[in-house]
Amino acid sequence: MDVKGKLIVVTGGASGIGRGLCRRFAREDARRVIVADVNEAGAQRIADEINGTAVACDVSMEEDLTRLVRFTEQEFGGIDLFCSNAGIIILGGVEADNESWKRIWEINVLAHVYAARAVIPGMIKRGGGAFMVTASAAGLLSQIGSLPYSVTKHAAVGFAENIAITYGDQGVRVFLLCPQAVRSEMTRQGGGVAAVDGLMEPEAVADAVIESFRRDEFLILPHPEVKTYMQRKCADYDRWLQGMRKLQARFLEGVPLKRQ
């Protein structure tokens, strides 16, 4: 897929991966980039920088995503690519409170559902389009230190897989972005265990997205090591779990981390 001349929407576009995507799409001569974010001022700054359009949007609210899609289609025409990118992390395990679970579920999972529900019917009617879910390597492996993040990112992976199967023969291309740690507000205090292979810049993630688009690859892995970890997990699940427990112990003890 070539993004040149395309109308693109990016949620969470004011910072981190979203900001990197907006800038890269503009450099690739997208027709228009819609920068959507709950941080309206931040979205406007990026939109001004790339000659795009800022839209305030809280992805945890279905009506906001419906309004975002309706506004874009009314003002600029059919959406060619929707990047459902916004996400949060909440630390902790089963003890995390219910409100935290609800909030991360709404943003990391239901927001993808709301966006797809709003945009995919129009894509099918027009004969095609593309939808990208930003999940995480945590959705393919796990996230030591954050059960809510791991669970919701696994759900996001499953969602992307299913809509790729369901709508692939109706002209909708689906992409799944699964990086490890990326420099952003989420990793301001460091990337934790996810940064074991380094903290990637958002611009490098955007580069990987463009390359995978060109190859029409469903699974986008900016950190190529993740594919090896997935293969090890599938080859011997019990051994992989043992290795992850060792990694967790080293993390909790403050030992410098490096994958074996």
- Residue 63 is encoded by which pair of tokens? 């009506």
- Residue 200 is encoded by which pair of tokens? 């990637």
Any idea what the Cα angle at residue 6 is, between residues 173 and 175, rounded to 5°?
A: 25
Which H helix or E strand runs over 131?
strand 129-134
Give yes or no for a contact between 137 and 226, defined as CB atoms under 8 angstroms apart.
yes
Q: Which residues are catalytic?
A: 149
Tell me the β-bridge partners of 55.
Answer: 36
Query: In this structure, which amino acid lies at residue 218?
Result: F
Q: What is the CA radius of gyration of the chain?
A: 18
Which H helix or E strand runs over 155?
helix 147-167
Please state the φ and ψ torsions of residue 202, each to the nearest 5 degrees.
-55, -35
